[in-house]
Structures are given as C-alpha cells and as structure tokens.
Amino acid sequence: MSIFDFLSGQFIDVIHWTDDTRDTMVWRFERQGHEIKYGAKLTVREGQAAVFVHEGQMADVFTPGLYMLETNNMPIMTSLQHWSHGFQSPFKSEIYFVNTNRFTDLKWGTKNPIMLRDPEFGPTRIRAYGTYTVKVKDPGTFMTEIVGTDGEFTTDEVTFQIRNIIVQEFSRVIGSAGIPVLDMAGNTGEVGRMMAEAISGTIAQYGLDLPELYIENISLPPAVEAALDKRTSMGVVGDLNRYTQFSAAEAMTAAAQNPNGGGAATGMGLGMGMAMANQMAGAMNQGPWGAAPQQQAQPQAAAAPPPPPVEHVWHVAENGQTKGPFSRATMGQMATRGELTRQTFVWTAGQDGWKKAEDVAELAQLFTVMPPPPPPGV
C-alpha cells in the first residue's frame, strides 16, 4: 500500500445514514478518528436532517439533499473555522443525523386518577389513556435542548417527559372544559385536538411537534361504575314500585308451592319483601299487628323499636292447590260463607309451614262469632 492510498483512506468522503430501526431519533456518524475530506459528499435522505457540531458548538444543519462539503455550503462552519478565503485541508466535526419522520403509536396514560367536578355526579375521579405521534420539527433546537452528545438517541429517552406534559395538559383541559363525564366519550376527538394544541406549544421549546393525539378511553372508579350500572338497571326496570310488588309476589308464590323448603328464615325474608312492597305501593291498609306463635321462646336482646305493623296476607291450601293471597278481611268473609273452616290449612309470610286456621291466633278470632261444633256423642 502506497503512502497516498493510506492517506486517502484516513479521510471520509461519503457521509450518509440508513435507518433500520423504528425508534431511533438521532444517530451520530461514527468517524472513528477519521477526518472529513474537503469536498466530501453528504447525502441526507427524506425524513432526515444532518447537524454539524464543531468543537462543541452547533454549526450547519442540512435538510434532505446531496451536498458537496465546501465553504459555500457550510457558512457557519466557515465562520467558526475562520475560513475567510476557503480551505483545502481535512477538518474534524461531529455529524448527527436526526430522524424527522413521525414516530407513531406512542402510549400515554394517567398514573393516578384526576379529580374534577362533574355537573351531574359532583366531585369525581377519572382515568384516561391513549396514543400520540411526535416528530422533530427543529433539529438544531432538539439537539441543543434534549440530545446533547448522545450518540444514539431513541424515543424511550424523551417519551417519559412528553407523557408527563400530556397528563398535565389533559388535567387542565378536561377540568376547564365542563364536559359531563357521560358525554366525554362523544367529545374525545375535540378534547384530543385541544390537548394537542396546548401540548405543541410546550414541546416546541424542545424542537418537537405533536401532530396527533388520541384518547382511547376515559373511565370512572370501579365503585362509581357499579353505581352507574345500577342506575341504568333501574331505568330499564321502569316503575320501581310495581316491579317490587311483582318480585315479592313471585317469591311468595314460589315459597307457597314448596311448603317444606326454605324454613323460617326464608319465610321472614319473603315477609319483609312483601311488607316493603305494601309500604311503597300503598296497596293495602295497615291492620292490627299479629305475630305467629313461636314453638319455643327465644331470648330477646335490647333492640330498636319494631317497624309499624303490616297486615298479613294469607294463602289457603285446598284439594292440593294453593289459593291467595287473601287479606284478613277477605278471610273473615270466607269464614262467614263457610269457605274457610277451623281445619283449613293456611300459610303467611314468616310462618313455619302450613297450620290449621284454628291454630293461628290472628285467624282463630274469625271463628268466635259462632259456636264451635258440638263434641261427639253430645
């Protein structure tokens, strides 16, 4: 190898960068100690910019195109080197290629819930997440403010700061927009546009631009969502009073058809459901308070006063079938007509199984208006 071949190999005469990644924002052209030859070719492809840094100072920025590195193409470098009358010797300079394409599908989200005052629900908390797009708008400013001397700068090194800015602006925009929580789903496009405009002004100081921002989801706390689901269910049901009466009647009928199942606890639960239905609907008048006799006295603990008495309704078993429910007044009319006797089996909510009418204190009074049948043999 001749001395001329050796010297020519020390100087770089073709400078370019081919990006084979999807997240590299800045790549430093590795000279490995080689100097740049006067008149070398610089290729800057579409979606790129080349930034020259000379002795720690920002020099020339080249946009897409093919350049011959001469004094007329490098005005700032010529000024820094004091090349007033041109130059022929090689020079040393760091060259950074900046990717100016859009970096898409970057994620953002709120780590903690955001407090806001909703016009319908009052103070509440929401979370949100989505995606955004970022690109380098001013390569020189980006190099000065963010990259510095990093030889290979990726999106991971800047997205954390951008996410913080997005969350801050989202909190401000959503708090001042006055959009009800239930209407946010229909306004995500408008909110995203407002956020992108506000954020672009902030990150422009870093030489970046935010062309797009999308809000994929806005959610409420689980407890609020559960309450909202209940509210929706109530809206589907319609008239809550009529629905409660219907549900209580269905439960009582099912229990009456299975007298051996459920036990006292089930009967008491059904009685409470029927009492609620009667109180809400006002369908029945309150009558004298009566309670089924208990088989064994249970110890009573100190408790709050009992609820107001509610009139019992009764089911009647006849020929293997169940009839009712009947009010006490109706039962009295049936006793007068002979349709209800002392031996008729009856059942009401809270009663442990079927009993004869004469064994129920509340119904036994219906038969005292006439003498009982005489005993046999008299």
- Among the candidates 99, 134, 161, a domain finishes at 99
Statement to judge: residues 95 and 14 lie in one domain: yes
Backbone angles phi, psi at 145, to 5 degrees: -85, -30
Statement to judge: residues 27 and 53 lie in one domain: yes
298 domain residue, yes or no: no
For 158-212, the pLDDT digits (tens) are 888 899 999 988 888 888 878 888 888 788 888 888 888 888 888 999 999 998 8
User: pLDDT grade, residue 65 (50/70/90)?
Assistant: very high
Statement to judge: residues 65 and 116 lie in one domain: no
Q: What is the extent of the structural domain holding 252?
A: 240-282+310-367
Structure-model confidence comparison of residues 250 and 26, the more confident one: 26
Statement to judge: residues 81 and 114 lie in one domain: no
* CATH code of the domain in which 163 resides: 3.30.479.30
For 289-310, the pLDDT digits (tens) are 444 444 444 555 566 676 666 6
User: Minimal CA–CA distance to 173: which of 209, 134, 126, 205?
Assistant: 126
Statement to judge: residues 127 and 84 lie in one domain: no
Q: Is 357 helix (H, G, I), strand (E, B) or coil?
A: helix
User: pLDDT grade, residue 3 (50/70/90)?
Assistant: very low
For 116-169, the pLDDT digits (tens) are 888 877 888 888 999 999 999 999 999 888 888 778 888 898 888 899 999 988
Statement to judge: residues 67 and 152 lie in one domain: no
Mean pLDDT of the 252-259 span: 70
Statement to judge: residues 169 and 248 lie in one domain: no
* CATH code of the domain in which 273 resides: 3.30.1490.40
Statement to judge: residues 76 and 192 lie in one domain: no
Statement to judge: residues 64 and 120 lie in one domain: no
Residue 74 is predicted with a pLDDT of 77
Residue 104 is predicted with a pLDDT of 92
75 domain residue, yes or no: yes
Residue 5 is predicted with a pLDDT of 44
36 domain residue, yes or no: yes
How many structural domains does the chain have? Answer: 3
Residue 32 is predicted with a pLDDT of 59
Contact 128, 118 (CB under 8 A): no
233 domain residue, yes or no: no
- Among the candidates 70, 99, 128, a domain finishes at 99
Through-space distance between the first and last CA atoms of the chain, rounded to whole angstroms? 148
Statement to judge: residues 186 and 255 lie in one domain: no
In angstroms, the CA 50 to CA 47 distance is: 11
In angstroms, the CA 196 to CA 200 distance is: 6
- Among the candidates 99, 122, 148, a domain finishes at 99
Statement to judge: residues 342 and 252 lie in one domain: yes
Statement to judge: residues 93 and 119 lie in one domain: no
Dihedral Cα 151, 156, 157, 161, nearest 10 deg: 160
Peptide bond into 305 cis (omega under 30): no
Contact 179, 186 (CB under 8 A): no
Q: What percentage of the chain carries pLDDT values higher than 90?
A: 13
E strands along the chain, which residues?
A: 11-15, 24-28, 35-44, 48-54, 57-62, 65-68, 94-99, 103-109, 114-118, 122-136, 152-154, 208-219, 313-318, 321-327, 345-347, 355-356
